[in-house]
Structure 1
Amino acid sequence: MSAGSARGARDPVHHPLFARCYARFSVTAESRMGLAGIRERLLAGLSGRVLEVGAGNGLNFAHYPDAVSEVVAVEPERVLRRWAVESARRAEVPVDVVPGTAEALPVESGAFDAAVLSLVLCSVREVPRALGELRRVLRPGGEVRFFEHGRGGGRVMTFTQRALDRTLWPRLSGGCHLARDPVGALRDAGFGLGPYRRLTLPEKGPALPASYCVLGVAWRPSGPWSPAPPARVTGSTGAARG
């Protein structure tokens, strides 16, 4: 089902003003904050059938390698989804943009070789449920590539992030939360964690509440769920190199 087929339905997520602001900022951030290079690193080496959750305006699509046979990109916000469809038309790999939420992915179980989470867990309403859905749709051993922002920066910054989460930030930022722990959430959901690296964006200038990011790999275990061992962190908490 394409994005256009859901025009008559009520969207579960509706942030048109934020969507327009985000789309303008994200395009600028590709070069000024080095996000284009981070997207290249996030997606490098992927192959087969890939699910992207929360595709936004589709800026990842240009960076998928040729070995990817298909991308199914789920985006709940109608304005962003419309721009994602335009990005999909310019992509060099097949991309199908569909409406849906992370908590109820509109795809079959065990059908994907890999999944991509790119600045999406901050705004998911129910993170454990969303990651449970991700486990459902991945084949055993399937990869998760993630680039997320979350809690960091010491006690003062963490206090600031939590205070903003309790007040204005989610309302102004399309449901985004600053103080979530994406690595811990993946571990708690039963994913195995591979190497990951913490990044601070922007590379130059003062750190902001949304500056603390992490880029890494996880996978769906082949066997039954069990708590994941502590993951190996590569690099240090510092500026992005991308």
Structure 2
Amino acid sequence: MPAVTVRQKPVKNPLFARIYPRINAFAEVHGGLEHRRELLADATGQIVEIGAGNGANFRHYQPAVQQVIAVEPEPRLRALAERAAAESPVPVEVRAGRAEKLPVPDASADGVVASLVLCTIADVPAALAEAHRVLRPGGRLYFYEHIRSTRPGLARRQRIVNLVWPLLGGGCHLTRDPESAIVAAGFTIERARHFDFLINGRTTPSSPCVIGLARKPETPSQ
């Protein structure tokens, strides 16, 4: 998959980039590994992963995946992703770039992976429009995201905590509705599993999650 040269403002978040690998390791011990395996179990062909972070997904891609183009804007995390790519069971190329303007040609991917990233992106509609652009007709969007709770008490707690959460969590927002944004971007959601990601049996403001699959239409909408 050829690269597309795109000039973009660099994203630097050195504090979060330093602590994120520890946050991810903690999450994996409590179930994150199983979530990533579920997300990627049926991924095939040419894949573009947006906001690849430190490359935590790479080891979970199956042999049906021919190549992964992993796009990560933060330099420190991108360096960690490059190390993870060297140990991936499938070919992974790590590229600098932002989800809002992917350095990938039109209609060149069979799948796009958004894993715990739509909560952090400044312009979610632009990122999903880019995912739609780079996918071939009928291509798949694999998503695993934090979501706004449907329970009034927890939703209220999320709104309060969200006043400071993005400052501490690398721009992560607790109150977004990624499924509505995915549908608005022209995708059809084919499956979605909603669950609470519990830590030691307890619910946290970031517990409500969804793992799902959406598809770009085979033919352009009229």
TM-score normalised by structure 1 residue count: 0.85
Q: Distance in 1 between matches of 2:62 and 2:212?
A: 17
What CA deviation, in whole Å up to 9, does each residue of 1:166-216 have, x standing for no partner? x21111111110000111111111101111100111264221111100011
Q: Partner of 2:175 in structure 1?
A: 179
Residues 9-20 of structure 1 aligned to structure 2 (within 5 Å): 12-20=10-18
Structure 1 residues 103 and 10: alpha-carbon distance in aligned structure 2, compared to 1, 3 A threshold? closer
Q: Partner of 1:23 in structure 2?
A: 21
* Identical amino acids, percent of aligned pairs: 46
Aligned alpha-carbon RMSD (Å): 1.9
Q: Partner of 2:96 in structure 1?
A: 99
Aligned-pair distance for 1:220?
A: 0.6
Q: Partner of 1:170 in structure 2?
A: 166
Residues 1-242 of structure 1 aligned to structure 2 (within 5 Å): 12-31=10-29, 33-165=30-162, 167-202=163-198, 204-225=200-221
Structure 1 residues 171 and 137: alpha-carbon distance in aligned structure 2, compared to 1, 3 A threshold? same
| Between 211-220 and 18-27, the greater mean CA deviation after superposition | 18-27
Aligned-pair distance for 1:139?
A: 0.2
What CA deviation, in whole Å up to 9, does each residue of 1:51-96 have, x standing for no partner? 0011010010001001111000001111111100000000111000
Q: Which runs of 5+ in 1 are unaligned?
A: 2-8, 227-242
Q: Partner of 1:234 in structure 2?
A: none
Q: Is the 8 A contact 2:8 2:98 kept in 1?
A: no
Q: Which runs of 5+ in 2 are unaligned?
A: 2-6
Q: Is the 8 A contact 2:128 2:185 kept in 1?
A: yes
